[in-house]
Amino acid sequence: MPVKTIIEPFRIKSVEPIRWTTRRQREQRLEAAYYNLFLLPADDVLIDLLTDSGTGAMSTHQWAAIMEGDESYAGSRSFDRFKNSVQDIFGYKHVIPTHQGRAAERILFGVACKKGDVVPNNTHFDTTRANVEFVGAEAVDLVIAEGHQPALLHPFKGNMDVPALEALIQRVGRERIPLVMLTVTNNSGGGQPVSMENVRQVSAVCKRHRIPLYFDACRFAENAWFIRLREKGYESKTPKQIAQEMFRLGDGCTMSAKKDGMANIGGFLCTNDDLLAQQEKDLLILTEGYPTYGGLAGRDLEAIAVGVQEALEEDYLRYRIASTAYLGNHIASQGVPIVQPPGGHAIYLDARAFLPHIPADQFPGVALAAELYLEGGIRSVEIGTLMFAAAAQMDLVRLAIPRRVYTQSHIDYVVEVILEVWKHRETIPGMRLTYEAPFLRHFTAHLEPVKVGVVTRS
């Protein structure tokens, strides 16, 4: 029988209760959190789509591996298993564990970049941009033009604009570009994939100018699946073969194991450059830990060793990508503006199109995220003017789907809440900042609704 329903490829062995709140309670909690959903206690959230980072459910194999964790300070057996598993997929000579992705970024940029340098990326993720800027370098986003048009359909909207990369190298000179980065999938640009063809072209430009190419590899498995689905010649390759081919085109990577590492914590930094690796390990010892644990417990290394392999399983990826598309397609079919096509780990609402009466400087994304919480206890995150200030090209609200956590009925509920908010969208007020920190302000900002005349809810 040809089966059309794609089911969760697992059964549930352990459950975690979630808690309902009343609308009145949510109004109070939101005000107490200064309209910033990062400041909400998680217990007051019913469905938490704030992030897919570290929020996934681990498998029985991962939990079993955790019991095998070797907590030796130096030369732990768990490090060898971690390194072998990572090298099997990524193929790089040096594998340096870190406590999460941003630690890998800080170490890479701390060692490879200096003031006045320029780092091109398809789109820098927020922590990546902040770490580039922290060393005094400039983070330049070079995603293709299609990547800036939320409604436009394109199979690889995460691609880098190769002529723009060439032009940038001509303009600033290769000496000022210590590395080029490709984020797969492109998180801040809507979880959109990068094609193998684009990786090949970017890699060729980098080679010609002798600039190393690094991947921000957080969602490498999802990117591999999109290549298999959408790029000619990859239909019968396994996700692992595709990932291996992609990584061979680069010189190293940063990775958050909280994403396609399927773990609750962890990350790593890879490079083929011996000298750089030595400097990175020296800095690692100073701030993260000895190079065979890098700020992680032996058991965390075990969970990652199993997790990176599980992320590439076909049944898992088929279900993962289908369930994200399920949410996106159900709301888009009712007119809700989303970044098209649905990405890998998240659906991004286009807040500027959803709330055209709210100007960008009144944070339409923050306003929409607040309303989704008020309406149904759903937590999402703004990726827009609050996160990136003047550099924001779009105002999006990201609904990130934790891995292997929510079932289809949870997602049906999310669809229902979004459609309810869509019905009364004209009544939603803009937001005003009352406090901001100098770096990564979205994590701690305080806001309040902008009072506009008399707004009544019909």
Query: For binding to ligand PLP (CB under 6 A), which residues are involved?
Result: 53, 100-102, 125, 127-128, 183, 187, 216, 218, 256, 258-259, 267
- Nearest residue (beta carbon) to ligand PLP: 101
Give the shortest CB-21-to-ligand PLP separation in angstroms.
27
Residue (304 or 336) nearer to ligand PLP, CB: 304
Question: Is 162 or 440 the residue whose CB approaches ligand PLP more closely?
Answer: 440
At residue 342, what is the residue type?
A: P
Amino acid symbol at 303: A
Structure tokens at 107: 């170490």
Cβ-based nearer residue to ligand PLP, 216 or 310? 216
Question: In the complex with ligand PLP, which residue's Cβ is closer, 127 or 323?
Answer: 127
Strand 446-449, strand 431-435: pairing: antiparallel
Least Å from the CB of residue 339 to ligand PLP:
15
298-310 vs 60-67: helix crossing angle, rounded to 10: 150
Decide whether 111 or 417 has the Cβ nearer to ligand PLP: 111
For the bound state, the minimum distance from the C-beta of residue 304 to ligand PLP, rounded and expressed in Å, comes to 12
Question: Does 9 sit behind a cis peptide bond, omega within 30 degrees of 0 on the bond before it?
Answer: no
Instruction: Quote the tokens at residue 5.
Output: 């329903």
Closer to ligand PLP at the Cβ: 117 or 216? Answer: 216
Beta bridge partners of 435: 446
Task: Report in angstroms how near the CB of residue 242 gets to ligand PLP at its nearest.
Answer: 19
Q: At what angle do helices 239-248 and 77-90 cross, to 10 degrees?
A: 80
Residue type for 384, please? Answer: G
Q: Cβ atoms within 10 A of the Cβ of 241, count?
A: 14
C-beta of 249: minimal distance to ligand PLP in Å?
18
Minimum CB distance to ligand PLP, residue 346 (Å): 10
CA distance 100 to 310: 19
Structural contact between residues 272 and 94, judged by C-beta atoms closer than 8 angstroms: yes
Nearer to ligand PLP among residue 76 and residue 223 (C-beta): 223
Which C-beta is closer to ligand PLP: that of 83 or that of 124?
124
- First vs last C-alpha separation in the chain: 49
Residue closer to ligand PLP (CB basis): 102 or 240: 102
Quick one: 258 or 299, whose CB is closer to ligand PLP?
258
Q: CB neighbours of 40 closer than 8 A, spacing ≥ 6?
A: 29, 30, 33, 373, 379
- What string of H, E and C letters represents the secondary structure of 131-163? HHHHCCCEEEECECHHHHCCCCCCCCCCCECHH
Nearest to 118 by CA among 73, 75, 179, 167: 179
Q: CA-based Rg of the chain, rounded to a whole angstrom?
A: 22
Structure tokens at 82: 């971690």
Taking the CB of residue 223, how many other CB atoms lie within 10 A of it? 32
Taking phi over 0 as left and psi of -120 to 50 as alpha, with beta for the rest, 340 belongs to: beta
Partnered with residue 126 across adjacent β-strands are none
